[in-house]
Amino acid sequence: MDRYKPRNTSAPHFCWSVVALFFIVALPSCGGYSSPSGGGTGLGGGGGVGVTPDFFLFTANGGGGNTSAFLASGTSGALTGVAGSPFAAGANPFSAAADPTSKFLYIANLTSGDVSAYALSSTGALTPVTGGPFLADSGPISITVDPSGKFVYVGNQNSNDVSAFSISSSGALTPVAGSPFATDTTPRSLVVDRSGKYLYVVTGAGTISAFSINSSSGALQAVPGSPFTAGIAITSAAANPVADFLYVTNAGGTNTVIGFVISPGTGSLSPMTGSPLPTGSDPSSVVLDPAGKFLFVSNTAENTISTYSVNGSTGALTAVSGSPFASGGTGPVSADTDPSGSFLVTANNGSSSVSVLRINSTSGALAAVQGSPFPTGTGPESLVTVVKLSSFDYLRPTMDYPFQLQ
């Protein structure tokens, strides 16, 4: 929903490594897999020059009580099940997030009221973290990890609050002092902004509860003006990885995506000029590519993806030509991009599958990869992509924003 920390890898080393691997490659520059907050990936992106690394994909299967794990080909986008998948989770796993180092995966279990924590192996296999599952409050429906990888936040829809945890070196979770922190009624989705200073929680009251994050303790404090009015039936939120913009989807018959400008000094929200824009029917999830160039909305009722280009200066959205695009599955309820921004993936609750669509790096248009959709466990509610550390790891000198979806 970022999973990466800076690596001590120089640009010249990157270029010579590519030459050694492929014998001869014409590169426009020696930029590698740069951080989204640095303005781009330098990889793939649906036809760009460079190499798209393989990645892992995990689904939270609400109907199966488990997590499906896949290895995705950076070349074709095809998914292959990881040995041992699916892995047991709690009752009604509903949301997934990974830490910035790509070492740990966290699943919020709606019915059992806890968080399953796993250590990731180089093969994508999951091992439960000692001490887990970790108790949240009532009805944990959404989970996210802050960009520093120090804290986990869980939105609890029944108790109207956010559980905050610190992350140990083993991946174990410890409640933050003062947790849980009260929100407006029925929190549904939550996201941390690109700076890691603010947490935003969309609620069933049609508002956004906004908090500043204490960088030392992880404790939350409401920002001035919170909660902010957003719409009628807000379902999901996404923060732009390279700019101070926040986007939320509004269902309930309204069917729009709404943009806000984040005040970097206070975390307060201001309506974005030109917002809202129409989506398809029942928009349930919103995500941006790592470069902040395109925004994608999954429309559950009509099995489509609405796609928009993002104005880098104002955050304003423009529907791309051909949008909305067929998802290829039934009931897409969650979406994410791979860490390079080459592929969009959707969790299809109605058909128990994952769709993989290649993103055209110029236009933002989507096209299903061969073999899509791919079967998952029963009733996937959420998914998250994780970079495969053992595959082209040196291509990632900096990666510092969590790709994860609510």
Per-residue model confidence (pLDDT) at position 389: 78
Per-residue model confidence (pLDDT) at position 100: 87
Q: 94-142: per-residue pLDDT in tens?
A: 999 999 889 999 999 999 999 999 999 999 999 999 999 999 999 999 9
**Structure token digits, residue 107:** 């699943």
The CA distance from 359 to 335, in Å, is 13
Residue 63's identity, in one-letter code, is G
Per-residue model confidence (pLDDT) at position 42: 33
CA 100, 269, 251, 110 torsion-angle sign: positive
CATH, domain 11-395, list 3.40.50.1980, 2.130.10.10, 3.40.50.300, 3.40.190.10: 2.130.10.10
Per-residue model confidence (pLDDT) at position 247: 98
The CA distance from 270 to 75, in Å, is 40
Per-residue model confidence (pLDDT) at position 52: 81
Per-residue model confidence (pLDDT) at position 252: 82
Task: Say if residue 78 is exposed, middle or buried (CB neighbours under 10 Å; 0-12, 13-18, 19+).
Answer: middle
The CA distance from 187 to 172, in Å, is 24
Residues of the chain under the 70 pLDDT cut = 1-50, 390-406
Domain positions in the chain:
11-395
Q: Which phi and psi angles does 13 have, rounded to 5°?
A: -60, -40
